[in-house]
Structure 1
Amino acid sequence: MTFPDASCRTLLCSLALALAALPAHAASVAPRTAQPKLVVVLVVDGLPQEQVTRYRDQFGQGGFRRLLEQGAWFSDAHQAHGITVTAIGHSAVLTGAYPYQHGVIGNNWIDPVTKQSVYCTEDGNFHYIGEETKPDDGTSPAKLRVSTLGDELRYSTGNQAKVVTVSGKDRGAILLAGKTGTAYMYMEKTGNFASSTYYMQQHPQWVQRYQAGKPQDRYYGKSWTPLLADAAYAHDARDDLVPAKPGLRNTFPFSYYSDSGNLDGDYYSRLKSGPFLDQLTLDFAQAAIDGEQLGRNAGGVPDILGVSLSAHDYVNHAYGPESKMSHDHLQRLDRMLAGFFLDLDKKVGMDNVLVVLTADHGFANVPEFSEARGIAAKRIDGAELVKKLNQHLAATFGADKLVMTQSLPNIYLDYELAAKQGVKRADLEDAAARFLLQQDGLAQVYTRTQMEAGAVATRMDLLMRRAWNRQLSGDLMVVTKPAWYFGKGVGGTSHGTPYTYDTNVPLMVYGPRWIKPGSYGQYAEVVDIAPTLAHLLRVRQPSASEGRVLMEVVK
């Protein structure tokens, strides 16, 4: 054996001492895992967490079960703001922000200047490409005040990264796409998926080819029937406890046709309330993967594909989350997702893909179903409520229409008129709040004075404070009692409250190279998605992000 001479021994000792001085892990640091080539963000519109757990045993192998068993699943994840509606929920996903910052305070709200109702994504400066555009159609993200993860990714890559989103609703696509992505939305007059002139002046060739194939027409005359055997639905609500809205059926089968007998807007609109809309959305997403070559950028620059699946929301609104229809729709969506993941595996490779699945909000049960279980529940006619409030305030202060307008749960007071009558703002607010709290079905009222003071004593206070935007929100925010909601008529249900049936949504993250699989009971929020993805993509967090990085699931 040959031993090193003195000079070599000195060098070796120096190297040994240097290594010893390093942190314990430094001598064996492995190269950083490559970034995902494609991040797929799936938002199932109107999916409560409890439906995932209730029907889990009936899922197939490749859809939800793949995410639940091979990915990380948070059972206590929430849309942690007090007004749980589609626009706010979608805004949270990739901004990591709450409404008080991102400025999307509802699907609609009252413009502070015109005092007229505005829609969250309407923008008269732009129109749909090749499609009819109404004044309140969603065409741009102008009202979203903050950046998204996609905006930050495109900025950090010199716009090499592609961000493409698709949804059955314009707000579902636009609010995921942010300022610099590209959104495509379902057109109920034609059944096409189209973008707007905010994003481009004409569709790329792949979109034109897709539209020319008219895939939406293949469902004409088809029916939606139960996927599983009758016994699988044994614990769902009886049909008589989920009364349908006027003009709608509440029992299978559901047929897709038009009254004219032609392929027209009547038929394309009907497609929304059933599984075929989601299949069309996923088909278009697959076409986008091919057309935009998503996940195949030079140098491994990541892309983002956002897919908002709208039909579950329509089904739950019509029949309730306890219905056989909602149950079956979720099972069908599970099988669709399995097919979508298989396609992803072929085109990009699932080992190169990071998947996130969540929802924009949950759902209340249909009031008739709740009452059959001994739970007080009703629909509250918002217009009638405000009419009574105005009458009360007129009798109290001697001035008509001290309530200017409403976009519930926001109510807007006329402070100027009150001042002319010598009525102090605080007195007007207090009188209105006291009256409202005496009405059936209302649990809490927050005033502008309270919100501006910023006091937070309860979880509900916190959620409602996050949902209140100083410039845009009402002077009163009203919260119903549990199981009650704003609506009228017969049939159906809704969402929008700070209660857990509306806030508790799925949060699943799949990506074997980056994510530790398992079931996690830690509290998490949907706003945690953006900072977690920013961490994995090594980009700056969105500008108003307040979520945390979910380090417990990161490898």
Structure 2
Amino acid sequence: MPNFIRLAPVALSVTLAAAAHAAAPQPLSPPAQPKLVVVMVVDGLPNEQVLRYRSQFGAGGFRRLMEQGAYFQNAHQAHGVTVTAVGHATVLTGAYPYMHGIVGNNWIAAGTKESMYCTEDREHTYLGVKTQPSDGTSPRNLRVNTMGDELRYSNGNQSKVVTVSGKDRGAILLAGKTGTAYMYADDTGQFMTSTYYMKSYPQWVTRFNEAKPADQFYGKSWTPLLPAAAYEHDADDDLVAPRATGEERNRFPFAMASDSGQLDSKYYNRLRSSPFLDKLTLDFARAAIAGENLGKNPAGVPDVLGISLSSHDYINHAYGPESRASHDHLQQLDRLLASFFTDLDKSVGLDNAIVVLTADHGFPNTPEFYQSRQFDAGRVDGKKLVADLNAHLAATYKLVKPVTAYLLPNIHLDYEQIAQAGLKREDVEQAAVRWLAKQPGIADAYGRTQLENGAVPRTRIGTLMQRAWNRDNSGDVMLVMKPYWIIGGGKSGTTHGAPYAYDTNVPLFMMGKRWIKPGPSGAYTEVQDIAPTLSYLLGVRPPAGAEGRVLAEFLQK
């Protein structure tokens, strides 16, 4: 028989009273929150470059992130179409493209069969700047919310979410539905927003633009930062960027000027492919911190600053990540980050902030570089490929131009004509898939019926491509390039967008002394993990489409 302890009635009543008092709800101290969350995206930075050049970094930029933050070296943009808009849409939504709806920088709109730009919204225009119909002016096409949206919802919109980028899509897709996005105007060298966000500029933005900071670089040159010996293992310029007749501008030193000899749009556009646009972007971020009092919110709630640095993408497109230009730009960016972190420490205090740095996608080397090392690599003329596919399907099924539109890797078929001919759409899709898979540079393809039914191969590549496909915005056939092959003509430069590690593996740093344990990690991680992790630290629910996990093993207790 159990040996229960019996209490006298009086003692029992006293004990129960004490227990009731102890069980009474006590005020809970909310967990410490950062005053500012800074989310940085380096456009087109493969993690491979960070590792390859790490010994040359200075003390305060990437090295600071490595030493004081968590460094996830096996982090991936875990979807199959690795381009700027898709990657930026992923960072703070935690969603895959099939959910957030941003399937490319552009896609073919289902109704019109015309190209739709990712942040296009013809109901809004740039504020005070000439706007083309397909310019990026709002997050209308983003189908889910962001961590910043959830933060603002949780405290009655008292948190401020401000983003800035050299590209409209870089700023808009980080800002979510309720933040405020600013982007570089390469016609004027100023930073602008759109009527989606406001009717007039705050005074701090007007002051920044009136100072014409972009003009300071006119007549200056971008020259290598390090001694010549530091670049001895980089690819030869003549291999990755052969000169056209009379071309003098694709070699160091890169002159910041224009043919007219005046400050004009060609000059402001030229800044994009240099460290100077990154400096301007970070300077605007500094102005935003001061102008909006970010990190000093009077309501005592956290603010969010999103910064997308665009230049590395432009440089890698032109020269490849194996080039001296790309190598030096990363070193220049490292020093710019060091200066920015120093200023952030003075204005807000890094002990009061969480800093996240990642990339929207990686980059392959140029096909010519791969070929020089005996890889099967090359370029595919997309226009010819689709024309030949059209001819093949037309001849096979006696159809007239069955391919109605394309923005590779997506191809759209004329389902109405196919039905009128008494054909099954799946049969035509699979005929296209079989033909494409036999073409040089093409590894595989998937049809709409396969993708709708989740019938793609259960491989890593199949999974990534399934995640990248959205039933409304994607095509009827989606192709996959072979490793080291790209879509595009010409004889120089490279591009991204593939499901291979060189395009998916990006750096991911998270730094915040009070919240993040420092140290390296080789565990598989996804960029989709950023939003759930930040949401957890901020004490708000994850964004609606988030499918990543909280990186709990690197959080301080």
> For this structure pair, what is the TM-score category when the shorter chain's length is used for normalisation?
over 0.9
Tell me what 1:189 maps to.
Answer: 187
1:352 is the counterpart of 2:368: no
Question: How big is the alpha-carbon RMSD for the aligned residues of Structure 1 and Structure 2?
Answer: 2.1
State the alpha-carbon separation in 1 of the partners of residues 335 and 301 from structure 2. Answer: 30
2:87 aligned to which of 68, 86, 89: 89
C-alpha distance 471-317 of structure 1, shift in aligned 2 (>3 A): same
Aligned to 2:101: 103
Pairwise mapping of residues 460-471 of structure 1 onto structure 2 (< 5 A)? 460-471=461-472
Superposed displacement of residue 348, structure 1:
0.4
Counterpart-to-counterpart distance in 1, 2:35 and 2:121: 33
Q: Tell me, yes or no, if structure 1 residue 404 matches structure 2 residue 404.
A: yes
Give 2:502's aligned amino acid: Y
Which residue of structure 2 lines up, in the alignment, with residue 62 of structure 1? 60
SS in 2 for 1:357: strand
How far apart, CA to CA, are the structure 2 residues paired with 1:214 and 1:244? 35
CA contact (8 A) 2:71 2:509 kept: yes
Match of 1:240 in 2: 238
Per-residue deviation, 1:32: 5.6
Which of 211, 215, 222 aligns to 1:217? It is 215
SS at 2:334 equivalent: helix
Q: What is the Cα deviation at residue 422 of structure 1?
A: 2.0
* Map of 1:315 onto structure 2: 315
Report the more deviating stretch, 393-402 or 333-342.
393-402
| 2:436 corresponds to | 436
Q: Name the structure 2 match of 1:472.
A: 473
Q: CA deviation at 1:300?
A: 2.2
Find the aligned partners of 1:196 and 1:471 in 2 and give their Cα distance: 26
Q: CA, structure 1 residues 408+245, in 2 after alignment: closer, same or farther (shift >3 Å)? A: farther
Q: How far apart, CA to CA, are the structure 1 residues paired with 2:527 and 2:444? A: 25
Looking at structure 2, the residues matched to 356 and 372 of structure 1 have their Cα atoms a distance apart, in angstroms, of 37
**Residue identity opposite 1:250 in structure 2:** N
Q: Distance in 1 between matches of 2:345 and 2:67?
A: 17
Q: Which residue of 2 aligns with 1:389?
A: 389
For the residues of structure 1 that align with 2:30 and 2:491, how far apart are their CA atoms?
57
After superposition, give the CA deviation of every residue in 1:474-520 in whole Å (9 maximum; x if it has no partner): 01000000010111112100000000000000010000000000001
- Aligned mate of 2:46, from 43, 48, 66: 48
Q: Would you say 1:539 and 2:537 are equivalent positions? A: no
The CA distance in 2 between the partners of 1:231 and 1:14, in whole Å, is 79
Cross-structure match for 2:167: 169
Partner residue, 1:342: 342
On the 8 A contact 1:244/1:318 being kept in 2, the answer is: no
Q: What is residue 3 of structure 1 aligned with on the other side?
A: none
1:245–1:491 Cα contact (<8 Å) kept: no
1:126·1:196 contact (CA, 8 Å) conserved in 2?
yes
Residue equivalent to 1:80: 78
Kindly indicate whether the alpha-carbon contact (under 8 Å) linking 2:218 and 2:263 is maintained by their aligned counterparts in 1.
yes
How far residue 181 of structure 1 moved from its aligned partner, in angstroms, is 0.3
Task: Give the letter aligned to residue 449 of structure 1.
Answer: T
Shift of 1:424: 1.4
Query: Paired residue for 2:483?
Result: 482
Residue matched to 1:523? 524
Q: Report the counterpart of residue 266 of structure 2 in structure 1.
A: 266
Q: How far, CA to CA, are the matches of 2:95 and 2:248 in structure 1?
A: 37
Distance 2:370 2:403 in 1: 32
Structure 2 stretches lacking a partner, 5+ long: 1-7
Does the 8 Å contact 1:168/1:308 carry over to 2? yes
Q: Which residue of 2 aligns with 1:447?
A: 447
Q: Is the contact between residue 33 and residue 513 of structure 1 (CA under 8 Å) also seen in structure 2?
A: no
Structure 1 counterpart of 2:3: none
Q: How does 1:197-208 map to 2 (within 5 A)?
A: 197-208=195-206
Specify the SS of the correspondent of 2:92.
Answer: helix
Q: Give SS of 1:298's match.
A: coil
The question of whether the paired residues in 1 share the 8 Å contact of 2:85 and 2:173 is answered with yes
Distance 2:193 2:88 in 1: 18
Q: Deviations over 1:12-45 (max 9, x none)?
A: x969x97xx99xxxxxx99664100000000000
Listed one character per residue, the Cα deviations across residues 60-94 of structure 1 (whole Å, up to 9, x for unaligned) are 01000010111000011000000000000000000
Letter in 2 for 1:458: T
Asked whether the 8 Å contact 2:43–2:310 carries over to 1, the reply is: yes
Is this contact kept in 2: 1:244–1:319, CA < 8 A? no
Once the two structures are TM-superposed, the CA of residue 299 in structure 1 deviates from its matched residue by 4.0
Q: Which residue in 1 is equivalent to 2:4?
A: none
- Matched with 1:140 is 138
**Separation in structure 1 between the aligned mates of residue 230 and residue 257 of structure 2, nearest angstrom:** 28
CA distance in 1, matches of 2:181, 2:30: 32
Local SS of the residue matching 2:412: strand
Following superposition, the deviation at residue 524 of structure 1 comes to 0.5
Cross-structure match for 2:503? 502
Q: Deviations over 1:146-191 (max 9, x none)?
A: 0011111111110100000000000000000011000000000000
Instruction: Report the CA distance shift for 1:245/1:541 in structure 2 as closer, same or farther (over 3 A).
Output: farther
**Equivalent AA in structure 2 for residue 338 of structure 1:** A
SS of alignment partner, residue 95 of structure 1: coil
- Contact kept in structure 2, 1:245 and 1:318, CA below 8 Å: no
Letter in 2 for 1:503: T
Query: 2: distance between equivalents of 1:31 and 1:109?
Result: 48
Distance 1:253 1:84, change over 3 A: same
Per the alignment, residue 25 of structure 1 pairs with: none
Contact kept, 8 Å, 2:158 with 2:299, in 1: the verdict is no
Unaligned stretches of 5+ in structure 1?
1-6, 23-28
| Counterpart Cα distance in 1 of 2:516 and 2:176 | 25
1:245–1:492 Cα contact (<8 Å) kept: no
CA distance in 1, matches of 2:15, 2:341: 53
Question: Residue type of the partner of 2:165?
Answer: S
Paired residues, number: 541
Residue of structure 2 in register with 1:457 after alignment: 458
- Within a 5 Å distance, the mapping from 1:250-261 to structure 2 comes to 250-261=250-261
Within 1, Cα distance between the matches of 2:36 and 2:458? 42
What is the TM-score when the length of structure 2 is the normalising length?
Answer: 0.94
Q: Deviations over 1:103-161 (max 9, x none)?
A: 11100000000000010001111111111111111000000010011111111110100
Whole-angstrom CA distance in 2 between matches of 1:412 and 1:341: 47
Q: Using a 3 Å threshold, how does the CA distance of structure 1 residues 550 and 438 change in structure 2: closer, same or farther?
A: same
Alpha carbons 1:242, 1:491 under 8 Å: kept: yes
User: 1:399 Cα deviation (Å)?
Assistant: 1.1
Offset, 1:421? 1.7
Determine helix, strand or coil for the equivalent of 1:272: helix
Deviation track 1:430-466 (CA, whole Å, cap 9, x = no partner) reads 1111111110000010111110111351111110000
